[in-house]
Amino acid sequence: MPRLGPVTRPLAWVAGALLSGLTWGLPARAEESWDAVYIAQKKVGHIHVKVEPVKDGAGRSLLRVVIHQELNFKRDKDQVALRQDYGTIETLQGSILRLDTRTYASQGGELRTFGDVIDGKMHLTLEKGGTRSQQVIPWGDDIRGPYGAELSLSRQPMKPYESRDVRTYIPDLNQVCITKLQARGIEPVELGQNTRRNLLRVEQTVTDANDKPIPGMKSTLWVDEGGQIIKSLTDLLGGMLTYRTTREAALTPDGDFNLLAASILKIAHRIPDPEKKREIRYRVTLANEDPTKVLPSDARQAVRRDKAPHAAILTVKTSAAHSGPLGPAAVGDEFLRPNPLIDSEDSRIRELARQAAGSRTDPWQKAVAIMQWVADNLKNKNFSVGFAPASEVARDLAGDCSEHSVLTAAMCRAEGIPARCVVGLVYGEQLGGFGPHMWNEVYINRRWVPLDAAFRQSEVDATHIKLAETSLDGVAPFEAFLPVLRVFDKMKIEAIEVR
């Protein structure tokens, strides 16, 4: 079959997820606001925020915050719509009592994360269809939602050169982060239609609890005297702008921004016949970062620092079922049990897994047969399906790399084979560069062995560059896609030796 171009759903989905953690002006009272979202001077969506007073059963005054966001992209010739509703019930001081996030990640329904604070702990549940994952995390009254910094600005506008830290919870990452605000000076700002305003510039960074920056969440805000954010610019997707506007302007039709084309890391010299390459040595540079801290080493890829600053030498080799050192006799249960996205207990998945495996008893032969079945039967290969769970893929047999990956993992788990998904980059010959991709690893012969159903490969070629792996378990399954944002528009790749 022809080699497919790299796909962008992981990048699009995590962009939508992180947008909920970026900054827009949140009304402090019973109000609403509208913002338009732009990338590369093209409108790609809008954000609607509404805050209204409510009372609980005891008559206590509380706030209900509802944030609705929509992003629309083209991916080659297909259109993808990403929609998320985020809501909280909180005290008048901003302490969260309940949260509920609904992400419409596929045509088949919603992915929901919800929870309540009970005795100083947040009890979280991730639900898709009938499958749930649950987790309890410590909680404090000072933890705010992903909009907490905006609420802080609205209630207490910053002065020039003031700094402020706000503890914020990012649901899609399942992390309590620190939003750091550093006010600069007041400056004239272009707002479109030949209008300018003098606004306070505020630099925002978001770090984890260990003060490590979260990729894609560095932004510049321009704030008015009332603490409302009129304009923001973030390095997400190479530069995403939001503008405060009217309802009518926010809801105007979106443009034709092509995320597939924008996500390709172009290379100077093409790699012919990439599916036949068994070993490639790359020089990788990453703007203002050490690539060795981003690129993992394992049985098939090794990374070491280069002499040049912010550069590394990456060697990727094709590995087989018996390649590399032995690992533990068994791996964690998260690679075997079902979860809301890899719902391997589904009856249709079990049926397909038995059909694909046939009478085979060897785990590796089973895994290869499953990979080949997925490659041969997902015939409706398109970019328009949202991030679908495996059970939906098993019924629709449509999608691209993420659908191939979750279905392969689910069918392998249904046959008792530990499996996980890999997030990384792959070379697309017709696009002349590397783009985001997903494939699989199965635990065979005490080794994690790669498979790629999207390319029908049981020996994954050397143009697959791994960034992270994930079981897609837990209440924040998409956290593993953060490395894609970390390298987007910042990494340069040069193939210096190809075999």
Q: Are 167 and 298 found together in one domain?
A: no
Find out whether 283 and 311 touch, Cβ atoms under 8 Å. Answer: yes
Q: Are 279 and 253 found together in one domain?
A: no
Task: Name the domain boundary from 222, 240, 260.
Answer: 260
Crossing angle (nearest 10°) for helices 401-414 and 9-19: 100
Rounded to 5°, angle at Cα 182 from 51 and 19:
45
> What DSSP state is assigned to residue 5?
P
pLDDT value for 383: 55
For the segment 326-338, what is each residue's pLDDT rounded down to a tens digit? 999 999 999 999 9
For the segment 384-402, what is each residue's pLDDT rounded down to a tens digit? 555 678 998 999 998 888 8
Assigned domain for 2 exists: no
Of 3, 39, 454, 22, nearest to 261 by C-alpha is: 39
Task: Name the domain boundary from 227, 260, 293.
Answer: 260
Number of domains comprising the chain: 2
pLDDT value for 289: 87
Task: Name the domain boundary from 260, 277, 297.
Answer: 260
Q: Are 480 and 389 found together in one domain?
A: yes
Structure tokens at 57: 């059963």
Stretch 344-372: mean pLDDT: 98
For the segment 237-281, what is each residue's pLDDT rounded down to a tens digit? 768 899 999 999 999 998 888 887 888 899 999 999 999 999 999
pLDDT value for 76: 66
Q: Determine the residue type at 495.
A: A
**Residues paired with residue 196 on neighbouring β-strands, in sequence order:** 190
Q: Are 277 and 364 found together in one domain?
A: yes
Q: Are 289 and 358 found together in one domain?
A: yes
Q: Compute CA distances 367 → 304, 338, 342, whole Å.
A: 32, 17, 16
Assigned domain for 361 exists: yes
pLDDT value for 109: 66
Distance CA 84, CA 68 (A): 6
For the segment 403-442, what is each residue's pLDDT rounded down to a tens digit? 999 999 999 999 999 999 999 999 998 889 999 899 999 9
| Domain membership of residue 94 as a residue range | 9-260
Find out whether 421 and 405 touch, Cβ atoms under 8 Å. Answer: yes
Structure tokens at 117: 């604070």
For the segment 300-326, what is each residue's pLDDT rounded down to a tens digit? 999 999 998 899 999 999 988 888 889
Q: How far is CA 69 from the centre of its chain?
A: 16
Q: Are 82 and 204 found together in one domain?
A: yes
Structure tokens at 391: 């059970």
pTM: 0.82
Cβ within 8 Å of residue 414, ≥6 positions away: 344, 345, 349, 350, 353, 354
12 versus 368: which is more confidently predicted? 368
Structure tokens at 254: 């979106």
pLDDT value for 3: 46
Q: What is the mean pLDDT of the chain?
A: 88
Distance CA 180, CA 173 (A): 18
Q: Are 158 and 200 found together in one domain?
A: yes
Q: Are 215 and 310 found together in one domain?
A: no
For the segment 14-70, what is each residue's pLDDT rounded down to a tens digit? 555 445 544 444 444 448 899 999 988 899 999 999 999 999 999 999 999 999 999
- Beta-strand pair 61-75/78-90: antiparallel
Reduce the DSSP state of residue 422 to 3 states and report it.
Answer: strand
103-107, 119-123, 186-190: segment of lowest average pLDDT: 103-107
**Domain containing 347 — which CATH number?**
3.10.620.30
Q: Are 250 and 275 found together in one domain?
A: no
pLDDT value for 108: 54
Distance CA 131, CA 345 (A): 9
Q: Are 192 and 251 found together in one domain?
A: yes
Distance CA 401, CA 439 (A): 7
Distance CA 195, CA 480 (A): 41
For the segment 164-193, what is each residue's pLDDT rounded down to a tens digit? 999 998 877 778 899 999 999 999 999 877
